[in-house]
Amino acid sequence: MRLALYFFFSYFFLRYQPGPTGRPQNVTVTSLTESSVKVSWDPLPCGQRHGVIIEYEYSLRYGFQFVIASGTTNDTQVTFNDIDQKCSNYAFRVNAANSAGTGPFAFIPISDDTVNKGIHRTRASFKM
């Protein structure tokens, strides 16, 4: 019995890998045209990855509720076209995923106040 418990705990503790514990850093919004924006971010610091990051999950929401675009990417940037930057408030969120799970979201608002004045940077820590 002791031997079986030893192997179980050894396997569990040596093989257990948590999901990422950090958020993508320095989320940046850049206006490309009047109807498109590029959102980019820095990867997680090594100590917060807990393994290899296999993808980033993202979503663009209108008015903080309605998802108008979502997906996954292996890159650290996405571009959104056909959005009305002048009259609408959007919210972008992104998180990292490894083989064990996903980490917390980084969040940034996208509006006329942030985008049309150039680049907006944040170390966002809100969770939607």
pLDDT confidence of 90, banded at 50, 70, 90? confident
pLDDT of residue 52: 93
Q: What are phi and psi of 61, to 5 degrees?
A: -115, 145
Single pTM value for the model: 0.74
Measured distance CA(94)–CA(40) in Å, rounded: 10
Cα dihedral 102/106/112/116 (nearest 10): -100
Domain 2-122 in CATH 3.40.50.1970? The answer is no
| Best CA proximity match to 106, nearest among 54, 30, 40, 51 | 40
pLDDT confidence of 73, banded at 50, 70, 90? very high
pLDDT of residue 101: 92
Contact 29, 118 (CB under 8 A): no
Tokens of 18: 């948590």
Say if residue 124's pLDDT is above 70.
Answer: no
Say if residue 42's pLDDT is above 90.
Answer: yes
